[in-house]
Structure 1
């Protein structure tokens, strides 16, 4: 038998730890689970667990992320797409609510099924990150719903309200399993589409965003990265807009998507300075949402952007960013990072940093082989913080 490579052995060890942790959390719940028991279940040492995960919280988030990824991988395209916004919302809610636990489920297994974060997030930065991630989830859901909106208006407020309803039902079911009829909840979600929820037509700060800077720099991104919406490898070398956002700036992705020219490839790169809690949260929530979206909306109606995670390596240089961050010239990102480039013919032809960077670059009108100037949507050149 051929010897396993180091990467293969690490993969096996990680998989064994995740399986043991899933069983431990299902039986005992997050609060009562112990790293030592997880190591015993996996027939590994405590050190082997900590060599793969920084602690119980990180391990729990990884277990939830693995469950969500399996659900996304197993998702089949819908046979009949919804006909309008209301049916689309109802179909999404029905799929999402399948996670509600039954009365016979153990508390631990029910919380895993719910992807519950109760008692897990203990710091204010983590809670602030989760609030922004939820806004990003609403943007992704809204972009899918708008394929069924006859007036073409934004549907972000509607998506936020729908997710509030669903997460509220999940919180109730966590403490009182079996309470709340999922079919009634799905019908309620469908009727939300008839409410007069008008989104703002524009973002008020955009007129004050500085125009993108012209550039003519080499562009050397990684050859292929994983798009979390489709699960496929995609190339960043093609023409388009690449926006790097820290976890607490994720909702700014909407500005770039709505400002891009038709046909532009818009890639949102979620950057962190290592495999930290905020990055794990973002990955978990995005993958979990996508698993439901893919069962309701056909591929052509999924959000028209690509979402890539670019996590740093804590063991290399003490928390440097990932490969995409380095290519963008922003090797040490943080939760508030916002930087963007426009790529054309293998070159970076426009750059922007700070709040509104994605908008500034997406609205750029290209001239010639490498020139760039701010489009009419940009402000008068006022500097941004």
Structure 2
């Protein structure tokens, strides 16, 4: 039999470690789990485990990512008839993770994608807060697509409420198994669709954002990127806005979406300085949410927004090294970067680049 290549051997070792780690976490939970026992289960050395995963937390997050991404594909959904119908279907999809009353505690936490005791540092808490904002944006945009016309109200605050209720249900299921009725929670989510939250988007800093730098630079984006929302390949060479956001700046994704011109494609690429831990945390939460979304909303729901989680190659094409504090944007037209901006408000600056020039031109011709 032909000898395995180095890449094949690395993939086999990684798979063995993941399988052993899953058994360890299901049996013992995160905190009591031991890397030495994981190595024994995989019939590997402790060093071999750490050569693939730099920490127990990175290994735990990798197991959760693999759990979510290896699940059976979700069938494309028919468009929901209303936001209430959409929220009911979304809540049912999300609540499927709740463990049964007789499930072992450790295994139930894994099923819940529990991060209790896992993300317990300042960096992790900040990133989770930013992820929550991104999750609310994606669900909010989907709910807005259920409205009958283009003047749909903003639904991001509604999405925040729903995700708060569902995440609270998950935490309660971990701390007090069997408490509450998932059907009641589903109906509660449907009822929330009727609330008038007077939701608006008007950040006070926008008037103070510095204009984007106008330029004429060839745009040579990487190939092979995939949209995390729909699972489809992404053409980063298309005209529109490309925004690179670090894991601590993900809330700026809404700025990119709301600032974009009608018809613009908005591509958000996520970068991080720590792919093994922070990167895996981002991938886990985004993959988990978008899997639920794909079970409720058809792919055409996000025609103007794409999300690339492994965004380092795209960020490099923008001239960025990329870290958790990154916030930068470029505007692309006909294969050329015509505007670029960095820092707070970068997406707004790049999206609106040239708008003032066109306004003055129209006024002069009037």
TM-score range, shorter chain: over 0.9
Distance 1:83 1:375, change over 3 A: farther
Distance 1:207 1:230, change over 3 A: same
Q: What SS is found at the alignment partner of 1:75? A: coil
Question: What is the TM-score normalised by the length of structure 1?
Answer: 0.89
Which residue is 2:162 aligned to?
162
Distance 1:374 1:96, change over 3 A: farther
Confirm or deny that 1:244 pairs with 2:244.
Answer: yes
Native 8 Å contact 1:242 1:267 kept in 2:
yes
Moved more, 160-169 or 253-262: 253-262
Deviation of the 1:50 alpha carbon: 0.5
Which residue is 2:116 aligned to?
118
Which residue is 1:326 aligned to?
316
Structure 2: where are the runs of 5+ without partners? 360-366
Aligned-partner Cα distance in 1 for 2:163–2:334: 40
Deviation string 1:299-324 (CA, Å, 9 cap, x unpaired) is: 1124731111236xxxxxxxxxx322
The number of aligned residues is 357
Distance 1:288 1:54, change over 3 A: same
Aligned-partner Cα distance in 2 for 1:219–1:131: 33
Aligned-partner Cα distance in 1 for 2:357–2:38: 55
Aligned-partner Cα distance in 2 for 1:186–1:374: 50
Aligned-partner Cα distance in 2 for 1:185–1:176: 16
Which residue is 1:350 aligned to?
339
Deviation of the 1:232 alpha carbon: 2.5
Which residue is 1:191 aligned to?
191
Native 8 Å contact 1:17 1:39 kept in 2:
yes
Native 8 Å contact 1:212 1:374 kept in 2:
no
Aligned-partner Cα distance in 1 for 2:81–2:120: 42
Deviation of the 1:38 alpha carbon: 0.9
Deviation of the 1:292 alpha carbon: 0.2
Q: Structure 1 stretches (4+) deviating beyond 6 angstroms?
A: 373-376
Q: What SS is found at the alignment partner of 1:89? A: helix
Deviation of the 1:240 alpha carbon: 1.6
Native 8 Å contact 1:89 1:193 kept in 2:
yes
Q: What SS is found at the alignment partner of 2:244? A: strand
Aligned-partner Cα distance in 2 for 1:375–1:175: 58
Question: What is the TM-score normalised by the length of structure 2?
Answer: 0.93
Native 8 Å contact 1:246 1:270 kept in 2:
yes
Deviation of the 1:374 alpha carbon: 7.0
Aligned-partner Cα distance in 2 for 1:363–1:99: 42
Aligned-partner Cα distance in 2 for 1:88–1:181: 19
Deviation string 1:79-117 (CA, Å, 9 cap, x unpaired) is: x43211111111100110000011111111111111000
Deviation string 1:205-228 (CA, Å, 9 cap, x unpaired) is: 212212211111122221221221
Aligned-partner Cα distance in 2 for 1:304–1:106: 43
Which residue is 1:101 aligned to?
99
Aligned-partner Cα distance in 2 for 1:363–1:20: 51
Which residue is 2:75 aligned to?
76
Which residue is 2:200 aligned to?
200
Aligned-partner Cα distance in 2 for 1:97–1:244: 32
Confirm or deny that 1:301 pairs with 2:301.
Answer: yes
Moved more, 357-366 or 33-42: 357-366
Aligned-partner Cα distance in 2 for 1:108–1:374: 60
Aligned-partner Cα distance in 1 for 2:192–2:358: 36
Native 8 Å contact 1:293 1:302 kept in 2:
no
Q: What SS is found at the alignment partner of 1:99? A: coil
Distance 1:257 1:74, change over 3 A: same
Confirm or deny that 1:337 pairs with 2:326.
Answer: yes
Which residue is 2:362 aligned to?
none
Deviation of the 1:29 alpha carbon: 0.4
Moved more, 147-156 or 176-185: 147-156
Aligned-CA RMSD value: 1.7
Deviation string 1:101-141 (CA, Å, 9 cap, x unpaired) is: 11111111111111000011121111111111111100010
Moved more, 85-94 or 258-267: 258-267
Confirm or deny that 1:91 pairs with 2:89.
Answer: yes
Native 8 Å contact 2:247 2:325 kept in 1:
yes
Confirm or deny that 1:360 pairs with 2:349.
Answer: yes
Aligned-partner Cα distance in 1 for 2:189–2:157: 13
